[in-house]
Amino acid sequence: MTTPVTVDDITAAHNARLGRIDPLIAPATALDPADPGYLRAEAAGGAVEAMARFEQTDAASPFAVWGALRRHELDVRIGGDEPDIALGSVLDQWLDRIARTERPGDVDSWARVSVASRDIDIVNALLQRGFSANGVSAVRLRPRGLGKVVAPAPPAVAGAVIRRARVDDAPELGRLDEHLLALDAHFGGVTMRDGAAGMFTAAYLERLAAAPETTWVLERDGRITGFLHAVPHAVAAEPGAPSLALSGGQYLFVMYLDKAERGNGTGAVLARFAHEALDATGSPYTLLSYAAANPRSGPFWARMGYRPLVTDWQRRPAVLAR
């Protein structure tokens, strides 16, 4: 039996539905029907409203690495027991608008929708319009019943040491982060841009000066061969980081290991140490994102205690080539 949803209570219905699907995701705020980007549709069993937003980024901007230069985003409110038809109608309206402004086949444009990973009722509406699951935001909660604990000492790693990063490590961290960008660019959620290493280095200089205690490096024979970098979720600079019903957690921004360090358990040692250190601060959760199509990321982070929270569904190019 389906539940009727009226236009006036779509956001309330969305939040009630989201609370049943995944209560860790923060409730959404109401949209403005007078905004030019506002869209809505109703059908038997569901009602959807959304806000279409567009952002153009300069290729020289530090934010250009985070995806396409022309970014069409849809912020959705989904109500009802069977919302796929209504969502499909809203998607069609939105994609028709995009088609008037974008060149078919231009891979520096995307259309993206972020929804709860556990919301399986809307998947077909997205798949039928050429969207694919591209990025996943995943969460690890502080273990239940864990009281006050002492921050751990860096563990032993055969032939290597784990230490806190220093400000003078910033150029090397920028270089390694560029390698990670090149890897993740294969999956379409980020984009290689000229000068990325320099932009990353500048960011690490600032972050390490302000809060060096949650960045650790793996050093072997005097050379940094990996690192892990976390920042407070409230100041996370990665676009699209989801809002949680909890607060005060950490955002694991980067973890990277050289190829020679992979496959021998070193990554798990580094990640477990970082999580124990973050648990000792009382942080209630750690959030991160990874490429859905990366065959290593999802399984690794699941072993580390993470589970999917929000999935980014993307079409890139925004208008498919004819």
Q: What pLDDT is recorded for position 8?
A: 59
Domain boundaries, the chain: 7-134, 141-314
For the chain, what percent of residues have pLDDT higher than 70?
96
Domain made up of 141-314: CATH architecture: 3-Layer(aba) Sandwich (3.40)
Structural tokens at position 296: 């290593």
Amino acid making up residue 46: G
Question: In the predicted model, is pLDDT for residue 45 greater than 90?
Answer: no
Please state, as a whole number, how many other Cβ atoms lie within 10 Å of the Cβ of residue 27: 14
Higher pLDDT, 234 or 237: 234
Q: What tens digit of pLDDT does each residue of 133-190 get?
A: 999 999 999 998 777 788 888 888 888 999 999 999 999 999 999 999 999 999 999 9
Q: DSSP of 73-126, one letter per residue?
A: EEEEEEESS--HHHHHHHHHHHHHHHHTTS-TT-TTEEEEEEEETT-GGGHHHH
- Token look-up 């959807």 returns 48
Q: Which residues lie closer than 8 Å to 100 by C-beta, 6 or more apart? A: none
Question: In the predicted model, is pLDDT for residue 271 greater than 90?
Answer: yes
**279/273 Cα distance (integer angstroms):** 10
Q: What tens digit of pLDDT does each residue of 7-26 get?
A: 558 999 999 999 999 999 99
User: Considering the domain 7-134 in this protein, what is its CATH number?
Assistant: 3.40.630
- Decide whether 7-134 matches 141-314 in CATH topology: yes
- The strands making up 250-257's β-sheet, listed across from edge to edge, are 38-43, 46-56, 70-79, 109-116, 307-315, 132-141, 285-291, 250-257, 223-232, 215-220, 161-164
